[in-house]
Every structure is written in structure tokens, then in C-alpha cells.
Amino acid sequence: MTHKTVRLTMAQALVRYLCNQFTEIDGERVPLFAGVFGIFGHGNVTCLAEALEAVQDQLPTWRGQNEQSMALAAIGYGKAKLRRQIMIATSSVGPGATNMITAAGVAHANRLPVLLLAGDTYTNRLPDPVLQQVEHFDDPTVTVNDGFKPVSRYWDRITHPAQILASLPQAIATMLDPADCGPAFIGLPQDTQELAYDYPLAFFEERLWTIPRPRPSRDQIAAAAALLKTAKRPLIISGGGVRYSGASEALAKFASDRRIPMAETIAGKGAVVHNHPAYVGPVGIEGTDAAKAMAETADIVIAVGTRLQDFTTGSWTTFAPDTQFININAARYDACKHRALPVVGDALESLGELNAALEDWACDPARMVDAQGLYADWNTMLDEGQAPTNAATPSYAQVIAVVNKMARPEDTLIAAAGGLPGETVKNWRVKSPHTFDCEFGFSCMGYEIAGAWGHAMAKDGNGTPIVMLGDGSYMMMNSDIYSSVLTGHKMIVVVCDNGGFGVINRLQTGMGVPGFNNLLKDSRVKNKDSPLRVDFAKHAEAMGALSRHCESLADLEAAMEWAQGTDRTTVLTIATDAHVWTPGGADWYVGVPEISDRESVQKARVGQADFRKKQRQGV
């Protein structure tokens, strides 16, 4: 029996396969791959681009301005779609490819799907060294694309056209696996892209992919239920995996029914609204005092869908040494951290089975009463810190309060590195579920605007992405303001200009080192008394955006009202204080010199030594 075949180039076959992959979202059949972000060069323009051009009405290609930012936009899209749809990013060889490595790190750290297709050097090596090739004298098989290996969940290089038959399904399965989800990288050597091959037609049949929901072991559920029934002071920590599992409502109901206070990680923020009765806010270094108190007194913590990074755990000082953990996670590695009782499985399935196993057990009501009282105190403190004052320059908290007030329930707040993650996590009051995206797994400066471009595509007019970022992040990556104007994907960008890298200056000076090379005034600049400040409003206008500079909080409120009605990306700028921060949260393990002539550093070292005594031991 012979199989029917079709003769295509490897690049044509790859694109045809991707076009025939589908998934379901809320009962609607949609393409698994929603589009491509591309910058073409000699590694992908003559073959891959030729194939993409032919299907542009089915698989749209969007022109990026920077390979890193377009891959970040793809990641933002995947996050907005709760990992149910995937975007592709393609680059040429050399710097085009290596620019995407940072974005791959973002996707890997945050467990987010993105398909990265980079051109590669020739497998036949006849024209070596080609333009942009980095040669390794001891290993001619190595190219810069090997640099993706540490930041990819799936990595391959196609050296024969038949290899995509096995590779592409594995790449997709990895990106859709709740345990292994992350970036898939495929290197495409230029001479392999051009080769024709007789592909079986069956390879291109439409396929409907579903995201698996692995059920936990009955033994693990029974053990978790038995342990939780002994709890006197339990706490739930809800991570990003709760949102991606679609378990937000189930976990919130579980918390209320079992009378267990519910905290969130930074990735998990937005699973519930700010005023949910069981909610005590984010936990950890950028958390609320209410969540901190609940964590410090907890005897059992149920951590759901979180990798328990140091900002969540206060570098593992937030919990008592004898606190026991029940880790519910699709990834075995995360479930087994810190001597936890592991429940390896999908969050929604695991919660359902744990809930049934608990029968009629519920925590003493006094625990929830304490939590709600502490959270009420926290909100009172927020109100006081967000209230306008006579200060010449507003604080982050005051600016956030205005933006939050003017945001519609369907708008999504987007932040990343710098001072705004901590300030937004503490001060932003979520109005609707899944309307908060703070990229803090990789803490990538430059994610904000690029990620918002992806969010705007995903939201498709159902609300507006609102970006809050500092002047440092804006200077690092802003070109997708232009991308969003070109493509008609509106966002609102609020630039908080505090004159440099404010939060890292806070860390530096807090550990006893004089301000150095972070704020503009402390850097090697021509005029230290009055360093040149960028006119961000005019800069944004030069890229086609609308803009306003705001002199006050009242100006900002009026500008936000105006921005909500504009027809394109709108950028608002306002000076913010580099030294006023919202209090609260846990401490952080940082390196402080053992030896220093500075008394301030010596004092900080003693403080760190005392802090580290509280750390839990374990992995």
C-alpha cells in the first residue's frame, strides 16, 4: 500500500502543518497558532517568508521592530490567552536569533508557550563562514542557536526535511503540556529550508489539540486531605498555574467553603478580584502585611500552581521552620520542593478531588476573621498612601491609584521590571479576573510595551492594555509603540519618570552603598545637578502615538479619561518620586560584602546575617 504524498520544500511543509493545527477555547474551534511575528533576513526571507506569504490570510505575519520585543509580544499574547493559543516569532541567523534568547528566558521562567523559528547556518558548510556566523574552531556543528538550549523546553535543529514529521508534533505537545509548558525552539538551516521532500498528505490533516488535565494520585490526595485536616492555621497560596488551569473560581470557592485565607503570587495575581472575602493579597517580598502575617503563623500551606520563587517566599524566611507544605502542581519538580507533600496533577482536577476527600472539614472561623481584619487594615493603609498630598512629586502609589480608578473592569494592567512590579502588585486593585500581568518570573525590562502589543491582539478590542513602566524600561525597549500604531492595536502607556533606575538604587543604598550609576544624578553625566531628561511625550509622538505630559495627579486623571477615548496608542508621562515606596512585605536575601570600610555596609551585613538565620533549609 502506498501513501499519498505531496512535494513541498521543508519551509512550505512546516508552514502548511502549522496552519492545520487547531484548538478549542470556550467551545469555539480556533487556530492553535494565531499568527507570526517576523523580522526577515538572509536566514529566513527567501524560503520561510516565501511560505508565509502564501498563507498570510490564514496565518497573518506581523512585522516587528526588534527580535526580542516581537518575541515578547508573542509571549504576552500567549499569557493573555491563558496558554490556550500560541504565537510564533521568526528571525534570521546571528544577532536576529540571539536577540530572541532573552525572550526565550522570559517564556521559560514563566512557563509560557511560544514557538521560536530562527534561521541557521548551512548544514553543507560549503559557503562557511557565512554572514553573521560565529565559528567554533573545535566544534563546527555549534551555532549561536545552541544558545537557546538553556532557555528552551524543546530544542531542535532541522538538518533533513523529513525531521519535521517527528519534531513539530513534539514541539506542540511540549508547549501545551501543563508540566513542561515553555518555549519551543527550532533552528532552520538555510539549505534545509529550500530542500523539497515528498511529505505524506496525512501529516497535513487538520488536528484538534486539547490541553491535558493530569489527575493526581489517589494516594497523594488522601495524604494531603489527612494532613490538611490537622491544620489549625492554614493558608492557600495561589500561583499562575491556577489561572492557566482555569481553576480560579474553584480555588476561591474552596478557600471560602473551607474557611482558609487565600494569598497570591505575583504571577497568580488577578485570579480573584481585590475584594474577594477570602483574599488577603499577594504574599512575599512585594506582598501585603496581611498575607505576611498569615504566612508567618501558618502551620500548613497549600501552594497551588506556583514554583515558589524567592519573591513569594521572602527567600524562605516568611514561614516558620515547622510549617508544612502541600504543593499542588502539574510539574513534579515544583510539587516536590521544600519537603512538601506533593500532589502532582492539574490544579482544577486536584482541587476537586481534594475537596471531596476533605468531606465536611473546615478551618476554625477565627482564622478567616483574623485574616479579614488584617486585610482591612492593609486596605486602610493603602487608602492613606494613595491619597493626594502637597508633595511636589507624586509617589508611585498615588499615580497607580489614579490609573486604577480610571481603568475599566475589562482593561488589563501590564508591568514588569523596576519599581512598578512591587508597587502595582501592592496597590493595584483588580476589578475583573485575569486583568493583571506583571512579568516578574524573569523580571525583564522591556517586556511591558512589547507584551502589551500581544495583549492588545489577544483582547481584540475587549478592553485596553494599560502599561505602567519607568523611564528606565521605556528607554530599554519602546519600539512597539510604533508597531501598535502601524497595526492598530491600541494600548495606553503611562511612563513614570523618576530619573533613572529607582528601585535598584533603593536596594543599593539600603545595603549601605552610596547611590552609584543608577539614578541619572549619580551617573557619569555632564551635568549632575540637572541631568538631561527625555521628553517621552514627544518621543512617543514621533512614533505616531498620541501623548500628553502630566504635571499633577489631576492632570493624569484628566489625561486617562482622554486616553480611554482615543483611536490609537496613547502615551502619558508624569514625574514620580524615586524615594517613596509602599511599605509592607517580606525581606530579601541579597549579597552584602563580608568586608567593607563603610560602616553602613558593615551594618547592612549584620542585618543580612540576622535575616538569614530565619531561613528554612531545603530545596
Q: What is the pLDDT of residues 257-296, one digit of tens each?
A: 999 999 999 999 999 999 999 999 999 999 999 999 999 9
- Give the CATH number, domain containing residue 264: 3.40.50.1220
The pLDDT score that the predictor gives to residue 364 is 97
The pLDDT score that the predictor gives to residue 429 is 98
The pLDDT score that the predictor gives to residue 599 is 95
pLDDT band at 385 (very low <50, low <70, confident <90, very high): very high
pLDDT band at 338 (very low <50, low <70, confident <90, very high): confident
Q: Which residues, including other chains, have CB under 8 Å from residue 580's CB and lie 6 or more apart?
A: 391, 395, 396, 397
Over residues 504-555, the pLDDT tens digits come to 999 999 999 999 999 999 999 988 888 888 999 999 999 999 999 999 999 9
In a domain, 597, yes or no: no
Of the candidates 348, 310, 374, the residue with the CA atom closest to the CA atom of residue 616: 310
In a domain, 74, yes or no: yes
d(CA 614, CA 612) in angstroms, rounded, equals 5
What is the residue whose three cell numbers read 521568526? Answer: 90
In a domain, 602, yes or no: no
d(CA 501, CA 472) in angstroms, rounded, equals 6
- Ranges assigned E (strand) in 320-395: 324-329, 341-344
Same domain flag for 285 and 416: no
Same domain flag for 396 and 353: no
- The reported pTM is 0.96
Q: Which residues, including other chains, have CB under 8 Å from residue 231's CB and lie 6 or more apart?
A: 299, 300, 363
Mean residue pLDDT of the chain comes to 96
Same domain flag for 182 and 323: no
The pLDDT score that the predictor gives to residue 459 is 95
Over residues 153-196, the pLDDT tens digits come to 999 999 999 999 999 999 999 999 999 999 999 999 999 999 99
d(CA 195, CA 10) in angstroms, rounded, equals 6
For the chain, give percent helix, strand, coil, nearest 5.
40, 20, 40
Same domain flag for 224 and 197: no
- Where on the phi/psi map is residue 44: left (φ > 0), alpha (ψ -120 to 50), or beta? alpha
- Where on the phi/psi map is residue 460: left (φ > 0), alpha (ψ -120 to 50), or beta? left
Strands 5-9 and 196-200: antiparallel
Using CB atoms within 10 Å of the CB of residue 435, give its burial: 0 to 12 exposed, 13 to 18 middle, 19+ buried. Answer: buried
The pLDDT score that the predictor gives to residue 119 is 97
Same domain flag for 362 and 463: no
Residues 71, 37 contacting (CB under 8 angstroms): yes
Give the domain extent around 175: 5-209
Same domain flag for 182 and 42: yes
Same domain flag for 247 and 204: no
In a domain, 598, yes or no: no
Question: With b meaning 16 or more CB within 10 Å and e meaning fewer, what string describes 190-204?
Answer: bbbbebebebeeebe
Question: With b meaning 16 or more CB within 10 Å and e meaning fewer, what string describes 345-363?
Answer: bbbbbbbbbbbebbeeeeb
Residues 450, 425 contacting (CB under 8 angstroms): no
Strands of the sheet containing 28-31, edge to edge, are 28-31, 21-25, 207-209
d(CA 167, CA 158) in angstroms, rounded, equals 8
Q: Which of 209, 238, 260 is the C-terminal boundary of a domain?
A: 209
- SS3 state at 287: coil
End-to-end alpha carbon distance in the chain? 55
The pLDDT score that the predictor gives to residue 1 is 56
In a domain, 423, yes or no: yes
In a domain, 588, yes or no: no
**2 pLDDT more than 80:** no
Over residues 394-435, the pLDDT tens digits come to 999 999 999 999 999 999 999 999 999 999 999 999 999 999
d(CA 448, CA 14) in angstroms, rounded, equals 31
In the chain, the amino acid numbered 121 is T
Same domain flag for 181 and 49: yes
As beta bridge partners, residue 540 has none
pLDDT band at 105 (very low <50, low <70, confident <90, very high): very high
Q: How many domains does the chain have?
A: 3
Q: Which cell numbers in the block locate residue 280?
A: 488577603
Q: Which of 160, 178, 209 is the C-terminal boundary of a domain?
A: 209
What is the per-residue DSSP string for 289-353? HHHHHHHHH-SEEEEES----HHHHTTTTSS-TT-EEEEEESSHHHHTGGG-EEEES-HHHHHHH
Q: CA separation (Å) from 66 to 70, 91, 104, 382? A: 6, 10, 14, 38
How far does CA 47 lie from the centroid of its chain? Answer: 32
In a domain, 476, yes or no: yes
Give the mean pLDDT of 10-35. 97
Over residues 216-236, the pLDDT tens digits come to 999 999 999 999 999 999 999
Give the mean pLDDT of 23-27. 94
| Cβ atoms within 10 Å, residue 108 | 20
Give the mean pLDDT of 59-85. 98
Same domain flag for 191 and 235: no
- SS3 state at 98: helix
Give the per-residue SS3 of 501-547.
Answer: CHHHHHHHHHCCCCCCCCEHHHCCCCCCCCCCCCCHHHHHHHCCCEE
Strands of the sheet containing 300-304, edge to edge, are 279-282, 262-264, 234-238, 300-304, 324-329, 341-344
- Give the CATH number, domain containing residue 32: 3.40.50.970
Of the candidates 349, 416, 561, the residue with the CA atom closest to the CA atom of residue 79: 416
**619 pLDDT more than 70:** no
Of the candidates 305, 303, 322, the residue with the CA atom closest to the CA atom of residue 313: 303
Backbone angles phi, psi at 21, to 5 degrees: -100, 135
Backbone angles phi, psi at 98, to 5 degrees: -65, -25
Over residues 588-616, the pLDDT tens digits come to 899 999 999 999 999 999 999 998 988 88
Same domain flag for 415 and 347: no
Give the mean pLDDT of 24-52. 97
d(CA 265, CA 308) in angstroms, rounded, equals 8
Q: Which of 170, 192, 209 is the C-terminal boundary of a domain?
A: 209
Of the candidates 498, 504, 496, the residue with the CA atom closest to the CA atom of residue 521: 498
In the chain, the amino acid numbered 345 is G
Same domain flag for 26 and 57: yes
Same domain flag for 395 and 365: no
29-33, 157-161, 383-387, 613-617: segment of lowest average pLDDT = 613-617
